[in-house]
Copies of this chain bind each other. A is one copy, B any other.
Amino acid sequence: MTTATDDELWSAIGDPTRRRLLDLLLESPARTATALSDRLPVTRQAVSKHLGVLDRVGLVEATEVGREKRYRVDQAQLERAAAQLQAAGEAWDARLRRIKKIAEAIERQP
């Protein structure tokens, strides 16, 4: 149920800082690494590395404007990621329910 491609996306959005980065980019697009680092408890370089990761998996894209580099979220990709999160949650939920049923069935016949 957890494929290799899954893991790539997971590790990308699995990091708290990267999640907050995506969050910030969603509420105000086209921000630069420096601007983003102002709103996070980490340095610009850390932010820059994270943006690099997000860029490599295609969750964000950047356009260079003069001396600054503005990032924005790739909506389609993030939608894919969000869908996978929901699916993962639902999958576990379903399995838990199945197991709970089995457990109850066993309890009913001593």
Contact = CB atoms under 8 A, between A and B. Distances in A.
Contacts of A23: 1-2
Q: How many copies does the complex hold?
A: 2
Interface residues of A, number: 35
Main secondary structure of the interface of A (DSSP, over half): helix
Interface of A: 1-2, 7, 10-11, 14-16, 19-20, 22-23, 26-27, 29, 73, 75, 78-79, 81-90, 92-93, 95-96, 99-100
B96 A78 contact: yes
B2 A7 contact: no
B22 A92 contact: yes
A-B pairs with lowest CB-CB distance, top 7:
A85-B89, A86-B89, A14-B14, A82-B92, A82-B89, A82-B93, A86-B86
